[in-house]
DNA sequence: GTGAAAGCGCTAACAA
DNA sequence: TTGTTAGCGCTTTCAC
């Protein structure tokens, strides 16, 4: 049978309470007894039962993480940052994805209701925002990783879409490009919208508004990049640059540009987003906006951990300030200066 | 305060035991009382506390998953399959990565000792195999996702490295390629070794052994693909094909081949592995071995869930048979027949 | 400084 | 069919 605190207590000749005190460092304990208890703990290889501890203490030491999916590279990166940070703070990490749709969310909500974890981290809440806000209102500490802060009461870590998109725009403007195509993400997605808007705003401010017909929705696939370019060509849209919402689609763009005889960077400059994978390996190598994805995840996890460790109200308010994320433009050949 | 089973019992005019029975479907309950209890449960929005249930039942309903990292695309795919399947079987999923090295594993082991979950899924155990075997021996249900089954007692799901590598070899042989370069993974990694071996074995069997100097270690980065090719050229190694351990490195290979004036597919045929991302978007598009990664993850999770639901001994033995994985070769231009 | 006792919220015998 | 009684293994007052 499992070694329990009772065994330790018996063997050490003390009460369970004392063993608990020693292990949790609460209350004063005689140096000698403490040493004895610790010795017995080691001898018996005693480890407190997570189940019993969580029932008695009223918290689990576990944090829930809700992500749309793991298969998008940038999300995997963020998750890794979260995992590392959680490990650091000693929290367990329960993973939930919204992969299977509404049903997934319902099951997730069940775990919330069952108090299966102490705090929640949500990556790209999107449609689940209201439900999540409700959970937060019900007392569950929540931290969001998102660019749309619908609820000003929730701590939120931005994902760098706006500054990144602006950087991309400024870079293209500096190169003298004036008529960009924009290949976006799925309609209705926050991150897609914020990226596209920041980009077109920057161009508009510079005096070069981007016409709607030059903006194509996408789905983050390579194919959507290909389709956007060929559509633009077919429609006779005049363009000298392409801003693409992720690196995968950007590959499709590069491929199709070459196919239609307008290869980057000479005819068309191309900027991608994320730089999380193969951007340096495309032909030509892709200029891309790099986001500190792991840091974003780690930062969010840190904030949540702080909240769980009972941050004071003032502190919580401070944490609620959106955390600034610094993006970096990695310039490669796909935007080499026109000759 | 939280609604507990006591509140429900009181309001429904029954004992806690009866409420428990209704909720767990154990023992006979009068239809009328059952209806009444259910109504009250709904009225009060009662959800059993996961903490209390797990302490009382002696199990958590949670499964631990230990992965090397989330940032390698193929692992993210497998994890998504695992997550979907776990969700399906109603299990929670505690995620652990070995990202931070020994320390990570120690913390993970702590959770195991604390009985924080009922079963364990390990992706690419590698160096942790002995420790994991010990956990299994101590009674923790374990399922591995790996190509090296060091412990015949543990159920294991293969990841398709051997059949995939053989397919790649046969494809190149059929194209008349005889002198392949092999760009592998980090030395000492199981998956890398099994892939390389299966490939070289196939060539050797066909009468064309691959000399050691034509085999380069890599680290799954694009750079290692570039380096391998340029090294081979510098060393004056004669080759007409390259088998690369993942798609990212393959991109590097394609890039460097073009750079040194021996572009694929004419001079050199290139086959990648995984087809999990941008393989269709390289220049030229990459022929690659596709593995059913999500299925692999889902299958492993299914087996573990079955074990947790108390599979009979005979059944367990059956499950211990390595599950066969079918890989598929996706042929693209990087191995177009030489003209 | 330490022990006894009362929970934490639920399940599972055992009676009735 | 249902209630009573013990726990599950730990933490935490409250006395001593």
Q: Residue A33: CB partners within 8 Å, gap ≥ 6?
A: A12, A14, A18, A22
pLDDT of residue A192: 76
Q: Could you give the angle at the alpha carbon of B258 between the alpha carbons of B253 and B262, nearest 5°?
A: 95
By CB atoms closer than 10 A (0-12, 13-18, 19+), residue A117 is buried
Phi, psi of B130 (to 5 degrees): -60, -45
- Contact yes or no for A115 and B62 at CB 8 A: no
pLDDT of residue A241: 98
pLDDT of residue A25: 93
What is the rounded CA–CA span in Å between residue A138 and residue A238? 53
- Contact yes or no for B94 and A93 at CB 8 A: yes
Pick from A54, A65, A60: nearest CA to A142: A65
User: In the structure encoding, which two tokens stand for residue B149, read together?
Assistant: 């089954």
Do the Cβ atoms of A328 and A176 come closer than 8 Å?
A: no
Is the pLDDT reported for residue B108 higher than 70?
Answer: yes
Phi, psi of A291 (to 5 degrees): -110, 145
Alpha helices of A182-329 — where are they, by DSSP H?
A: 190-205, 222-234, 247-259, 293-308, 313-319
A207/chain B closest Cα distance in angstroms: 34
Other beta carbons less than 10 A from residue A25's beta carbon:
8
What is the rounded CA–CA span in Å between residue A98 and residue A129? 13
In this predicted model, what pLDDT tens digit does every residue of B237-275 receive, in sequence order? 999 999 999 999 999 999 999 999 999 999 999 999 999
DSSP state of A323: B
Q: Does A102 touch chain B (CB under 8 A)?
A: no
Question: In the A/B pair of chains, how many CB contacts fall below 8 A?
Answer: 165
Identify the weakest region by mean pLDDT among A182-186, A198-202, B7-11, B82-86.
A182-186
The nucleotide lying nearest A9 (C-alpha to C1') is C3
Q: Nearest by CB to B80, which of A51, A53, A70?
A: A70
Query: Which residues of chain A does B110 touch, with a Cβ-Cβ cutoff of 8 Å?
Result: 47
Do the Cβ atoms of A271 and A254 come closer than 8 Å?
A: no
Q: Which of residues 2-41 of B touch strand D (CB under 7 A)?
A: 13-18, 21, 27-30, 32-34
pLDDT of residue A163: 93
- Contact yes or no for A94 and B95 at CB 8 A: yes
Angstrom distance, A17 CA to D16 C1': 15
Alpha helices of chain A — where are they, by DSSP H?
A: 5-12, 16-24, 31-44, 50-57, 73-89, 102-113, 129-137, 161-174, 190-205, 222-234, 247-259, 293-308, 313-319
Residues lower than pLDDT 70 in chain A: 1, 149-150, 190, 310-323, 338-339
Other beta carbons less than 10 A from residue B297's beta carbon:
29
Burial annotation B129-154 (CB, 10 A radius, 16+ → b, else e): bebbbebbeeebbbbbbbbbbebeeb
Do strands A241-244 and A269-274 pair parallel, antiparallel, or not at all (unpaired)?
parallel
How far apart are the two ends of chain A, measured CA to CA in Å? 77
From chain B residues 201-260, the ones with a CB under 8 A of any chain A CB are 222, 247-248, 251-252, 254-255, 258
pLDDT band at B314 (very low <50, low <70, confident <90, very high): very low
Do the Cβ atoms of A286 and A268 come closer than 8 Å?
A: no
Q: Residue A1: CB partners within 8 Å, gap ≥ 6?
A: none
Interface test with B, best of A92, A103, A223 (most B CBs within 10 A): A92
Q: Which positions on strand C lie below 7 Å from a protein C-beta?
A: 1-5, 7-13
A77: CB within 7 A of chain D nucleic strand: no
Angstrom distance, A304 CA to C4 C1': 38
- pTM metric for this prediction: 0.93
pLDDT band at B313 (very low <50, low <70, confident <90, very high): very low
DSSP state of B245: S
pLDDT band at B99 (very low <50, low <70, confident <90, very high): confident
Pick from B84, B65, B301: nearest CA to A101: B84
- Contact yes or no for A2 and B115 at CB 8 A: yes
pLDDT of residue A312: 41
DSSP state of A333: G
Determine the 3-state secondary structure of B147 from DSSP. Answer: coil
Angstrom distance, A15 CA to D16 C1': 14
The mean pLDDT of B143-151, rounded to a whole number, is 83
pLDDT of residue A315: 52
A273/chain B closest Cα distance in angstroms: 15
Query: Which residues of chain B does A97 touch, with a Cβ-Cβ cutoff of 8 Å?
Result: 80, 83-84, 87
Angstrom distance, A57 CA to C13 C1': 27
Give the position of tokens 């009444």: B36
What is the rounded CA–CA span in Å between residue B270 and residue A29? 68
Is the pLDDT reported for residue B50 higher than 80?
Answer: yes
Q: Does B263 touch chain A (CB under 8 A)?
A: no
Query: Which residues of chain A does B97 touch, with a Cβ-Cβ cutoff of 8 Å?
Result: 80, 83-84, 87
Do the Cβ atoms of B229 and B181 come closer than 8 Å?
A: yes
Percentage of chain A beyond pLDDT 70 is 94
Q: Nearest by CB to A48, which of B51, B96, B114?
A: B114
Q: Does A322 touch chain B (CB under 8 A)?
A: no
């Amino acid at each position: 049978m499992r070694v329990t605190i009772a065994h330790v207590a018996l063997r050490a000749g003390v009460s369970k309470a004392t063993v608990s005190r020693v292990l949790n460092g609460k209350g004063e304990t005689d140096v000698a007894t403490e040493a004895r208890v610790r010795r017995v703990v080691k001898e018996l290889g005693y480890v407190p039962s997570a189940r019993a501890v969580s029932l008695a203490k009223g918290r689990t030491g576990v944090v829930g993480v809700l992500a749309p999916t793991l298969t998008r590279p940038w999300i995997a990166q963020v998750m890794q940052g979260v995992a590392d940070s959680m490990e650091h703070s000693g929290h367990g990490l329960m993973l939930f994805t919204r992969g299977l749709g509404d049903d997934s969310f319902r099951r997730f909500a069940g775990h919330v209701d069952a108090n299966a974890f102490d705090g929640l981290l949500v990556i790209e809440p999107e449609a689940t925002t209201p439900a999540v806000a409700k959970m937060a209102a019900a007392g569950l500490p929540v931290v969001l990783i998102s660019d749309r802060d619908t609820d000003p009461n929730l701590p939120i870590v931005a994902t760098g879409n706006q500054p990144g998109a602006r950087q991309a725009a400024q870079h293209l403007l500096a190169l003298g490009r004036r008529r960009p195509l924009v290949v976006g993400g799925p309609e209705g997605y926050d991150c897609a919208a914020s990226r596209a808007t920041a980009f077109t705003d920057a161009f508009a401010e510079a005096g070069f508004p981007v016409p709607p017909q030059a903006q194509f929705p996408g789905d983050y696939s390579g194919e959507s990049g290909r389709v956007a370019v060929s559509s633009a060509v077919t429609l006779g849209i005049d363009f000298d640059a392409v801003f693409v919402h992720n690196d995968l689609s950007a590959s499709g763009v590069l491929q199709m540009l070459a196919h239609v005889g307008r290869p980057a960077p000479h005819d068309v400059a191309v900027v991608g987003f994320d730089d999380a994978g193969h951007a340096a390996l495309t032909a030509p190598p892709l200029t891309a906006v790099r986001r500190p994805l792991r840091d974003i995840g780690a930062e969010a996890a840190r904030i949540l951990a702080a909240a769980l460790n009972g941050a004071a109200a003032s502190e919580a308010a401070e944490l609620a300030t959106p955390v600034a994320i610094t993006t970096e433009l990695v310039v490669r050949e796909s935007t080499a200066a026109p000759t």
